Structure formats: structure tokens, C-alpha cells
Structure 1
Amino acid sequence: GYNQPDCAYPDATPAISTVTGDSSNGGAGPWVSASGHTLTINALGDQTVINHAYTGPSAKTAPFNQKFVTRHYGFGATRGTGSVMINNVNATVTSWSDTQIKITVPSLSAGQSSCTIQQRGVSTQTRCGELVITAGNGKKSIDTVTVTIGGKPPSYVAGENGASNAIQTAIDKATPGDMIIVGPGNYNEMLLMWKPVRLQGVGAASVTINANTHPSGKMDPWRRQVDCAFGIALNGGLMASGNPFDPTGTYLCPAAMQRQVDAIPLEPTVGWDNTLNGNLSELLIEPTLMGAYEGAGITVLGKGVRDVRVGGVLQPDPNCTANGVCTLLSASPTDCNTYSSNFYCNPSRIDGLTITNSSQGGGGIFLHGWNHYTE
């Protein structure tokens, strides 16, 4: 328990707590509608970190007798030679202090932008890039946020400390490719990102997704939602007119979510096939399709294979499930218009947030499959 590895930023590293630009739908994050607008960068400041030099209770002199030490993560009282860049393009600094920097967002050309995919149906081009701060002491920020310029205004999720599924609700309501700004707060959720969206926190130090599975039963609604997305009824069979999601009507599967994602080739979802270790749902005796990889802080699911009609019912291609011979989706207009969970067609991102307490096998972020170009 002594001399633990030093995993914190070095002292005097410029680090952020939040980054805010234009207000949108009740809040602001690292988004501006156009270049020339103001971006406000707030410093992380003093932080208590584990002292890697602590040698135990018998130590008498500093720093060896200190379990914790304070490090300062400000920007420096004066700018000096400090600078701010977005994707290696200099931004004009309008004010600089140890606690806050304000910049004018520069114009980025297509070649200077890291946005590889544009949101479909949006006329204005989006530009984006990593924010990098260099303090007057020469030290650079280690991680900050992605700054986005232009495009469709984002939705905003206000900070909260309950279990209201605020982020999941925003994902469910979003149009593919939408940006969702997540405001400061602690969010007790296990998210299913079942369509390409841009999940953008205002800063990892200020936004926490707590994926704790307690109290008991918290996994149950998550598993039902996974079943819905894969088109599986609660009895383990494919949803059809004669096999509704839940005959009792107790649990609902929204039409917009049904059959929107696919298993990967040779991954069993229904039926019994001893060459594929059988149906995971039957083996685990619970309605889950992720098996041991369920319950990540964020589980990213996508659509990758064209469906077929069997007896008039749209179903996964049985050839793909059985032997891996699949008709894959592309970025064609037809595939983009037909399948909203096709990640080829719209931008997707997870940025500027912290994930903690994911005790299930899925870990922090689990990209299940077909999640092309996710940043």
C-alpha cells in the first residue's frame, strides 16, 4: 500500500475543469456555431493526489510521511509565451489568468479539421479539433476536449445527481449524428449508445458517469433495452406479430429502437447451436445478449448487416448468424436512409467525461461491433 505509482498530472500542468462556448438548449459546452465566437476555458486548479513518495506511518519527515500532496493545475497568472491551439491552429487569446482563459475560435479549413464524417441532412459544414493549452512554463495540457465549430446546435443534458437516466433519454431521442452536450454532474447510468451520436462532456474532471450496478436489479432494465435493440422478445425469441416484446404490456420496446442493431458474425442471439456455445441467454438463464460483457459504462451498438424478410417479418440474415456470410452495410444513400444505426453514415464520439465504478465485464466503454469511425 505504499509507494504507489504516480498517475496524476505533474505539478503545474495546465488542466481544464470545463470548456464552454455558445449556449444551446439551456446550456453550453465546447461548441460554437461559427468561428470568431468566444470559448471560455476554466482551470482545474488545486487537486489533492496520492503521494507516491509516502513510505508508511513510520516515516517522520516530509514528503515521506504524507499520504497525499496538493498539486496545482492552473494556467499561470500571466500568459508569457503561453498559447492555445485547436487542431494545431493558433487561437487568439483575449484574456488569460491562472483560473480562466478566453479565446476567439479560429477558422479551420477542411484539411485542418478532425471531423471525418459530416452529419447527414445538415447544410453547414462542421469543423472540429483537439484543444491544446501551452502554459508560460512550457508545459502542455495532457487531455482536454474536442472543440466543435458549426453544424446542428447540440442538445444539452443538465447536471444531476440522481438516477433519472438523463443521458440515455437524450440518446434515445437524438437524430443520428446529433451532438449531446453533457453538463457538469454525476450521472448514475449505464448507457446504450445504439445509434451514432456525439456524446460530448464539458470536461472529464466535471462530468462523471457512475456505472455502479447497485442497488440490486439495476441491470434488469438495461438487459430489456438490449433485447429491444436486437429485436429479441423477453421470452428469448425474435420479435414478430405472434411474439411481441412483452405480451403483458408491462415493458415497452419503442418502435424506433426495435431491430436497430446487429450481432457480430457467429455471435449467437437466439436458438441453440452447439458450435457457437449455444444461446448465451439460455446459458446464463437471464435475458442478456452481451454475456459477460454486459453493463459497461457506455455500450456502443451498431447496425452492420442488411436484414432479410422471413415469412414477411424483417429479421437478421440467418446466413450471417449461422456461418458468417453477411451482406454488409455501406455508406450508400440507400443504406444510410434505411438504417439509422449505421455508423458509416453519421459522426459518433465519446469525449470529455469520466467513467467510474463499472464492475460488470463490459468495463468503461465497450464497442460491441459495427461502430465504424467512432472517435
Structure 2
Amino acid sequence: MSQDTLDRARAGDEQAFRELTEPYRRELRLHCYRILGSLTDAEDVLQETLIAAWRGLTGFAGRASVRTWLYRIATNRCLNALREAGRRRPPEPVPPFDPPEPTRRGDTTWLQPYPDTMLDRVADHAPGPETRYHSREAVELAFVAALQHLPPRQAATLVLRDVLGFSTAEVADMLGTSATAIKGALQRARTRLDQRRHTIDPERVPLPGSPEERHLTRRFADAFTSGDVDGVVTLLTDDAWLVMPPAPHEYHGPPAIAAFLTMFTTWRGRRRFRLTPTRANTQPALGCHLTEPGGSTAHPAGLLVLTLEVDRIRTVTWFLGDDLPRRFGLSGTAG
């Protein structure tokens, strides 16, 4: 950042302001997503952050970097959003058939997937030396979902310290508290996160884009599109989960998952699913479109994200939003 650019931005030059803030837009959006769990909310808060930064630029003293200043605004805007609206839960969808009794009803129904295309260039700004989580691990669905169970300030503290590597003093300044309070919040957050999160040994996860990952994803897609419930079940771990945000229904174990898929396949009848490969949260994903027999237009039917473990699938997360294929740039035209 040059002093000239800062001076021009303070004088009301919008182009200069964009030059100051554009390098951090992508990482700020990801930061908001981690805390909020919802890409829709993250994009809203990012816009609020940039508006607040524009209006407050004259008060920026330059004691911290522009990046740190923006993270302070973004983090507090996230906390304000959670405090003012509680959790903006999406309406629970009404299933078109009577599903079997779920194993449990999930409480993070606002969770949304994050397109890998939005992760491009985020790594240009290397995390600080005190990070505990690899950049890939810190955007996986299991990590983001576990963060949603932490008190908001604990989640923000953990992300700022353990994901981004800001110092204790920097985080205390961002959150307007003491270093002692930050240390306590971080310890509690780490303990809670370990309790909530199922950790898979990285050595047991196929590498992104590897032949093993592609083969397992293709086998799942072939079985799912053909209505081969047994074929899907053979690919699951014994402790697999099927979850479907924003629906709260969650099914644990192959028998429960098979019961749901059997009922769903019966309801689907002669209609066909078309699955288009993509990636979300650094994991293999499949955009879903449902096509009527002989139809040329496929109706959007959400997005499947697969969590893999060795040569099996540990979690199938079926996000049910109709706008998700479009958000991932997937066409609704049947091929």
C-alpha cells in the first residue's frame, strides 16, 4: 500500500479504495464464511465490511496494516450479524415424500458449500507462523460445521489465531479485549472443536484430483444416477452419515442411509438424475439436476459433497438449495 493510494482513497477516490481492498476481498469472504457457515451470509457481511471500511477510512491511523484493519471490521460485522439476528435459519424444506425417521435432527441447517473456484488466489496471503491448521483442512465441511457449534467469539478467536495466524495481541485488539481473555477463549474453543469434529488422518484421505478420488467419485455417481442403492451402500464406511442442509434429517450408518435412498428412488420413478462433477470445500462434489423422461431441461436438485476416507465415503452432504448448481456454474441443460 502506498501513502499516495491511501491519501487518494481518504479524499474520496473510489478507484484508490478498490486498489486498497481488492487484494483482500476473497480471503475476507472466506473468513466470514468460516464464522457464519453460510456463503450467502458471508457475501452479505463482506459487502457490509467494505461499506464500513469506506466510511471509516478517515479514522484508519495506519498503526496496523490495511489487511489487519479489514479483518477487524469483518470479524466484528460477523459477530454483529450473529448477535442481531441470532442464526438466520433457512426455512425447513418439505420433502415430496414421507422420509423414514432420521437418526437425529441436525441443528446447523444454515450450512452451505463453498465453491473451490472461490479459493483461487486466497493462498497468495500466507497465514501467520502461529497457525495450527493447514489451509485445506480449515475449509473442509467438517471443520466449518464444527465451528458453528462454538460460541461466536470463541469461533472468531480460533479462526483468527489458529487458521490465519494473527498474534494474541492482534486478536485482542480486533475483538476489543485483553490478551488473557483471548488465551482463555482460544483454549476453550480448541477443546470444544476437538469434541465436535470428526478428524480423519490426512494419510487416509485420497489426494484432491487423484485417480483414487476420481474413481471413487465416479463409482458413487454411477450408482446414484442409476438408482442402485446397494451400489451406493457398498461405498460407505460403517459409520457413514447422510445429511441434507437445510433439511434437518440426518441418517447414520448404511442401513439408515439405504432406507432413505430406497424411498427416494421409489419416489423418483422414471426420472433421471444428471450429476456434474465440481468441487466444494476442497472436496469432490456433484451438481444435481433431475430430468423428466425424454425431457431436455433438467431441474436443479442441489449439490452433493463427498467426504472420503481411504477407499470409502464417510459423509454424503446433500445440499438441497435449487440455486446451488447455478452458483457453481453448472448448466441446467440436459446432455
TM-score scaled by length of structure 1: 0.27
TM-score scaled by length of structure 2: 0.29
Point out the structure with the larger helix share.
2
Query: Which is higher, the Rg of structure 1 or of structure 2?
Result: 1
